[in-house]
Copies of this chain bind each other. A is one copy, B any other.
Amino acid sequence: MELPFTSLLGIEMTGMDDGHATGELSLREELSSNPNTLIAHGGVTYSLADTVGGAAAVSVAETVTPTVDMRIDYLAPATGDVLFAEAEVVRFGGNVATVDIEVTDDDGTVLAVARGTYKTSGGSGQSPWTSSGE
């Protein structure tokens, strides 16, 4: 399934199984926050983290898992050629899952860490998310 925004960014999923997921994207000028230097905009790093984190949640939930909330901490400038994300479900409950994500570059430098809460079920139906997902 081709998803428009993840295709625009060039995110490729490389693994997704049993609460664990990995993905990557190649940094290119369009994704830079700076016209003079290649450095991923914080929103690019976030989008990769959120996408791979969601995949980890989906791998357990086997249904869409909209992001409820996410925190990202930037640890180093994202100047590498490729950004890698690895996500792990650290708690999976009937309502929500907690997922940890680490984004690294091709040198293994940790660029960012993120932690998010994802919905794991359709709930009681009164949520605006129910029929749409994110």
Enumerate chain A interface residues (CB-CB to B < 8 A): 1-6, 8-9, 29-35, 37, 39-44, 46-48, 50-51, 66-77, 79, 90-91, 93-96, 98, 100, 110, 113, 115, 117, 119-130, 132-134
- Beyond A127-B94, A130-B94, is A74–B66 a contact (Cβ under 8 Å)? yes
Q: State the oligomeric state as a number of copies.
A: 4
CA distance A110 to B88 in the complex (A): 14
Q: Are B68 and A129 in contact (CB-based, < 8 A)?
A: no
Q: In whole angstroms, what is the CA distance A71 to B8 when docked?
A: 24
Known: A50-B43, A95-B123. A71 touches B115 (CB 8 A): yes
A114 CB, nearest partner CB in chain B, Å: 9
Least distance between A28 CB and chain B CB atoms (Å): 9
Of the candidates B43, B113, B120, which one forms a contact with A43 in the assembled complex, judged by CB atoms under 8 Å apart? Answer: B43
Do A96 and B76 touch across chains, with their CB atoms under 8 A apart? no
**List of 4 A-B pairs having minimum Cβ-Cβ separation, nearest first:** A43-B47, A94-B123, A94-B124, A93-B127
- Cα–Cα, bound, A1→B132 (Å): 37
Of the residues B1, B76, B123, B124, contact of A91 by C-beta under 8 Å? B76
> Do the beta carbons of A113 and B90 come within 8 Å of each other?
yes
Q: How far is the CB of A1 from chain B (nearest CB, A)?
A: 7
